[in-house]
Structure 1
Amino acid sequence: MSERALILYTTLGCSLCEKAKVEIWPQLEKFQLRLQSVDIAEDEQLSRLFGWSIPVVGLGDTDDVICWPFTASELEQWLQTRLK
């Protein structure tokens, strides 16, 4: 089975995104996920959805995401309910 992607909605120069990655990294191995960064500047719909709230993390459904600020344990809890 291939690893599922944990999507980090970001954009160039996002300093909060670097802080979010510190919380994200421990969860990747725990849930066997790979991190996929998506630049919202390249997508008009994503810019509209997340322009004011990045970094945002999701599993592919843009209606079901967790927005910064979050802790590693909050992200872990969020992932646990979705990856059962």
Structure 2
Amino acid sequence: MQIVKLYTRKRCPLCEQAELVIEMIQEESLFQYEAIDIETSDDLTERFGLMIPVIEVDGEILQYGQVDYVTLSEKLSGENDK
């Protein structure tokens, strides 16, 4: 089963929107979801600070910034078909 990671931080409207998109897609596709607050790690803050929200699956960044439901849904559904 895939693990979808959402790199986020508090008080981030785009992050909240991305979380809602992931939750909607999770109703249709099978995957585990994990939210990671980048402010808990200097390394994560340096790596993703200007990009959040960031959605990563199997080490690959699928989307960042504005998360698009259709694009993300297609990518996650396509991965599940393999």
TM-score grouping bracket, smaller chain normalisation? 0.7 to 0.9
Match of 2:70 among 73, 80, 84: 73
SS in 2 for 1:30: coil
State the AA in 2 paired with 1:75: L
- What residue number does 1:42 align with? 40
State the AA in 1 paired with 2:35: S
Residues 1-84 of structure 1 aligned to structure 2 (within 5 Å): 3-61=1-59, 64-65=60-61, 66-83=63-80, 84=82
Task: Name the CA distance, whole Å, in 1 between partners of 2:31 and 2:25.
Answer: 8
Number of equivalences = 80
TM-score normalised per structure 1? 0.77
Residues 21-60 of structure 1 deviation map (CA, whole Å, 9 limit, x = unaligned)? 2221121132212321101111222111110011111124
Answer 1 or 2: which has greater strand percent.
2
State the AA in 2 paired with 1:12: K
Which consecutive segments of 4 or more residues in structure 1 shift more than 6 A?
none
Q: Tell me how large the CA RMSD over aligned residues is.
A: 1.8
Query: Which residues of structure 1 form unaligned runs of 5+?
Result: none
SS in 2 for 1:41: helix
Task: Name the CA distance, whole Å, in 2 between partners of 1:68 and 1:74.
Answer: 13
